[in-house]
Amino acid sequence: MNRFQDILSFVRVAELGGFTVAAKALSTTTSAVTKSVTRLEEGLGVQLVHRTTRRMHLTEYGAEYYERCRQILADLDDAEGSIREANIAPSGPVRIALPPSFGRMTVIPALAEFYEQYPKVVLDLCLKSQTANPIEGGFDLVVHSGRLMDSRLINRILVRGVQKTVAAPSYIERYGKPETPEDLAAHNCITGAFGPNWHFRGEGGGENVVRVSGALITDSGDILREAAVKGLGISQATWWLFREELKRGQLVPLLEDYEIEAEPIAIVFPANRRTPAKVRAVVDFLLKITRSSDT
């Protein structure tokens, strides 16, 4: 116990920059904190803290020891928190940003099952076309389509698959079927959030970018899909958006020999030391419902 208290005292001194403020944070005396740090130094045989009348700072040994001790205390806090939550049902609000189409097609149909399992969790759903950073948006987690560059974030992949180019049978009957990506220049293409530059597999396994055009532009996945079903033009997006219509034959895949891997759909959340049980419950559930319908 003395060893643990000594380490805790040292970590607070390093974090707060002084013995007196550390003592106040630990509800003890400055003398007790000083003795704790001195005992550590004597036991290790090195000086951890440079002390002067005006300021203190960590030695090279002290800085290294602080990082190790801080990690140990964080791991202990994480373990204790997990054990405390193990027998407590997840509860409280979870604020989530979702692409509108993903929310409507995947999440909302499964909400009854979610609330049966987690009746004390309150979901605050915000349907937004593209939100990549939950930290800046004030969300507990985000479902995002595309790549992530922020190291402060954790992501769990929900959906992988190919980029699909599709059209309704009625459109193909009227205007014909493109045989190569370049043939799209003669077709009415419905462009979405990723713009008029459509990506295909090129010769030698490279990527071929074809610029398309058409009479309808939208940032809504729902409109993109429904317009294609109505025969208004050719659409391109991740297979997940079109999967039900492809199964039912309402949409037909085009240019399959030229398909490339689509950007994944992932859950994104801050890289906190410990993720609250209510957020873990939502993450686990999203993984479950996407895996169960990933066919």
How would DSSP label each residue in 102-124? Answer: HIIIIIGGGHHHHHHH-TTEEEE
Residue 153, CA distances (Å) to 156, 207, 260, 272, 280 in order: 10, 29, 26, 9, 15
Separation between Cα atoms, residue 94 and residue 88, nearest integer Å: 16
Rounded mean pLDDT, 16-45: 90
Establish how many alpha carbons lie within 13 A of residue 252's alpha carbon, considering only the half-sphere containing its beta carbon.
14
d(CA 257, CA 272): 42
Confidence of residue 134 (pLDDT cuts 50, 70, 90): low
Question: pTM here?
Answer: 0.65
- Give every CB contact of residue 215 below 8 A, 6+ residues apart in sequence: 188, 232, 233
Structure tokens at 76: 């202990």
Which residues does residue 164 pair with via DSSP β-bridges, in sequence order?
237
The pLDDT value recorded for residue 198 is 95
Residues 199-234 pLDDT 10s: 999 887 788 999 999 999 998 889 999 999 999 999
**How high is the pLDDT of residue 263?**
84
Nearest to 281 by CA among 84, 92, 81: 92
For the chain, the average pLDDT equals: 87
d(CA 163, CA 144): 16
Residues 221/101, Cβ–Cβ less than 8 Å: yes
The strand pairing partners of 270, in sequence order, are 153
CA dihedral 182, 185, 190, 195 (to 10 degrees): 70
Can you give the pLDDT at residue 41?
92
How far apart are the C-alpha atoms of 230 and 168, rounded to whole Å?
A: 7
Q: How many CB atoms lie within 10 A of CB 211?
A: 12
CB atoms within 10 A of CB 244: 13
In this prediction, residue 294 carries a pLDDT of: 59
What pLDDT sits at residue 191?
93
Main-chain dihedrals φ then ψ at residue 291, nearest 5 degrees: -65, -40
Confidence of residue 192 (pLDDT cuts 50, 70, 90): confident
Q: How far apart are CA 157 and CA 261, in angstroms?
A: 14
More confident residue, 21 or 271: 21
Residue 86 has pLDDT above 70, yes or no: no
Strands (E), 41-171: 49-51, 56-58, 92-98, 121-127, 141-145, 153-159, 163-167
- Using one digit for the tens of pLDDT, what is the confidence trace for 39-63? 999 999 999 998 876 678 899 999 9
Question: Does the pLDDT of residue 264 top 80, yes or no?
Answer: yes
CA–CA distances in Å: residue 271 to residues 98, 268, 284, 287, 290: 19, 9, 16, 18, 22
pLDDT beyond 70 at 135: no
Lowest mean pLDDT among 9-23, 24-38, 185-199, 267-281: 267-281
Give 78's pLDDT tier (boundaries 50, 70, 90): confident
- Work out whether strand 56-58 and strand 207-211 pair parallel, antiparallel, or are unpaired: unpaired
Range name among 66-75, 227-236, 270-279 with the lowest pLDDT average: 270-279
Q: Supply 133's token pair.
A: 């950073």
Q: What stretch of H or E contains 236?
A: strand 234-238
